[in-house]
Amino acid sequence: MSPAAPTSRLPVAVLGAPGRMGAETVRAVESAGDLELVAALGRGDDLERAAQAAVVVDFTRPDVVMDHVRWCVQRGISAVVGTTGFTEERLAQVRGWLREQPGTGVVVAPNFSVGAVLMMHFAEQAARFYESVEVVELHHPDKVDAPSGTAVRTAERISAARAEAGVAAPPDATSQELPGARGADVAGIRVHGVRLRGLVAHQEVLFGDQGETLTVRHDSFDRSSFMPGVLAAVRQVRDRPGLTVGIEPFLGLGS
Ligand SMILES: NC(=O)C1=CN([C@@H]2O[C@H](COP(=O)(O)OP(=O)(O)OC[C@H]3O[C@@H](n4cnc5c(N)ncnc54)[C@H](OP(=O)(O)O)[C@@H]3O)[C@@H](O)[C@H]2O)C=CC1
Ligand SMILES: O=C(O)C1=N[C@H](C(=O)O)C[C@H](O)C1
């Protein structure tokens, strides 16, 4: 009997490897039999060390992530990006780079946890049925950005669903306000941020109407909750050339 042909593992590099999410991703890649960690880079490390990767995972910071994505796309390396700070303008810029490299894929996901994806999905479904809605995101106090990327995306999706259904802006009689007391306005939806030691990543979407409320809540108690989504994106990003926003397609939710 001839020996089985050796199966090649997918070479993966992690940017932001010393960080909270980077370290969790390094562990997950090292534990996956079909993946090979070829570089684990932090601030100041030479990006060229990631050049042998087929897929780069980025969990760094909003101020450096665009340079990393451009570096990957220019080399035809696919990227899975969890770092926050992706505005519509940034996404358009990534699409522009990808037009020059048609075989390359980039996944930008504000949240890789399955529960968080479902929370956003359920909130979007509920959006048109309620007069009032507000988003409360709660995170560990070492987080540098507010509101969270997940909260921004949730508010944008709720806003779009309400606009499509012709629902008016949520009522709010506030005429005297200490700045910040009513949170941030994201696409017409109020978003509130809590930073508390002991928390990881949590979000509530509060809906209200005559005589009733509905709360859709998700809790990540541990960063391992993000890893199944990260690994699914790593394995599939090269099969989806162009830009994919969110991991919904990998879960059979949306295109
Ligand atoms: N999509 C998702 O599911 C999730 C997304 N996130 C997002 O991921 C990002 C990272 O979060 P988190 O891990 O908690 O943050 P950390 O601050 O723990 O990690 C970021 C790491 O990136 C490093 N870094 C900074 N600049 C560079 C660079 N140019 N090249 C390589 N590494 C660099 C930092 O180094 P230094 O400390 O020296 O600055 C740090 O080690 C945030 O934007 C966060 O919101 C977080 C959780 C889940
Ligand atoms: O910084 C974090 O921790 C997280 N960041 C992402 C976000 O901003 O939405 C995802 C999750 O909330 C954890």
- Can you tell me the mean pLDDT for 41-52? 98
Reported confidence tier of residue 72, pLDDT bands at 50, 70, 90: very high
Give the range among 81-90, 176-185, 244-253 with minimum mean pLDDT: 244-253
- Can you tell me the mean pLDDT for 158-186? 98
Residue 31 DSSP SS3: helix
Name the token pair of 29: 């890649």
CA dihedral (161, 138, 21, 119) in degrees, to 10, reads -30
- Can you tell me the mean pLDDT for 45-65? 98
Active site residue 218: no
**15 burial via Cβ count (<10 Å: 0-12, 13-18, 19+):** buried
Q: How far, in Å, is the centroid of ligand 2 from the Cα of 74?
A: 27
Residue nearest to atom 13 of ligand 2 (CA): 201
Q: Which amino acid is at 115?
A: G
User: Which residues, judged by CB distance below 6 Å to any ligand atom, belong to the binding site of ligand 1?
Assistant: 15-16, 18-22, 41-43, 59-62, 64, 82-84, 109-112, 145, 149, 226
Which of 21, 56, 114, 237 has the most ligand 1 atoms within 8 A of CB, as the residue to mutate? 21
Element (H, E) at 194: strand 189-195
Q: What is the pLDDT of residues 110-167, one digit of tens each?
A: 999 999 999 999 999 999 999 999 999 999 999 999 999 999 999 999 999 999 999 9
Q: How far, in Å, is the centroid of ligand 1 from the Cα of 201?
A: 14
Reported confidence tier of residue 6, pLDDT bands at 50, 70, 90: low
Is 158:206 a contact under the CB 8 Å cutoff? no
Residue 48: predicted pLDDT: 97
Residue 253: predicted pLDDT: 81
Name the token pair of 152: 């921004």
Nearest listed ligand to the Cα of residue 153: 2
pLDDT at 1 over 90: no
Q: What is the pLDDT of residues 219-255, one digit of tens each?
A: 999 999 999 999 999 999 999 999 999 999 988 887 6
User: Nearest 5 degrees, angle CA 200-CA 206-CA 211?
Assistant: 150
Nearest listed ligand to the Cα of residue 143: 2
Q: For residues 50 and 55, what is the distance between their CA atoms, to the nearest angstrom? A: 9
Q: For residues 171 and 159, what is the distance between their CA atoms, to the nearest angstrom? A: 14
pLDDT at 176 over 70: yes
Residue 212: predicted pLDDT: 98
Residue nearest to atom 1 of ligand 2 (CA): 143
Residue 4: predicted pLDDT: 60
Reported confidence tier of residue 3, pLDDT bands at 50, 70, 90: low
CA end-to-end span of the chain: 44
Residue tagged 């450096």 (tokens): 64
Active site residue 139: yes
Q: How far, in Å, is the centroid of ligand 2 from the Cα of 202?
A: 9
- Can you tell me the mean pLDDT for 76-86? 97
Query: Residues annotated as binding site for NAD(+)?
Result: 16-21, 82-84, 109-112
Q: Which domains does the chain have, with CATH numbers?
A: 10-108+224-250 (3.40.50.720), 114-171+179-221 (3.30.360.10)
- ipTM comes to 0.99
Q: CA-CA distances (angstroms) from residue 106 to 56, 89, 141, 192? A: 9, 16, 29, 30
Q: For residues 73 and 242, what is the distance between their CA atoms, to the nearest angstrom? A: 10
Task: Tell me the helix, strand and coil percentages in the chain, rounded to 5.
Answer: 35, 25, 40
Backbone angles phi, psi at 140, to 5 degrees: -60, 150
Instruction: Find the catalytic residue in 68, 121, 139, 218.
Output: 139
pLDDT at 198 over 70: yes
Listed residue (188, 219, 184) closest to 202, CA to CA: 219
Nearest listed ligand to the Cα of residue 13: 1
Q: How far, in Å, is the centroid of ligand 1 from the Cα of 217?
A: 25
Residue 216: predicted pLDDT: 98
Residue nearest to atom 3 of ligand 2 (CA): 201
Residue nearest to atom 48 of ligand 1 (CA): 111
Q: What is the pTM of this model?
A: 0.95
Q: Please provide the average confidence, as pLDDT, over all residues in the chain.
A: 96
pLDDT at 209 over 70: yes
**141 burial via Cβ count (<10 Å: 0-12, 13-18, 19+):** exposed
Q: Which amino acid is at 149?
A: G
- Can you tell me the mean pLDDT for 83-108? 97
Residue 17: predicted pLDDT: 98
Q: For residues 62 and 142, what is the distance between their CA atoms, to the nearest angstrom? A: 14
Which of 86, 143, 196 has the most ligand 2 atoms within 8 A of CB, as the residue to mutate? 143
Non-local CB neighbours of 42 within 8 Å, separated by 6+ positions: 16, 17, 18, 19, 22
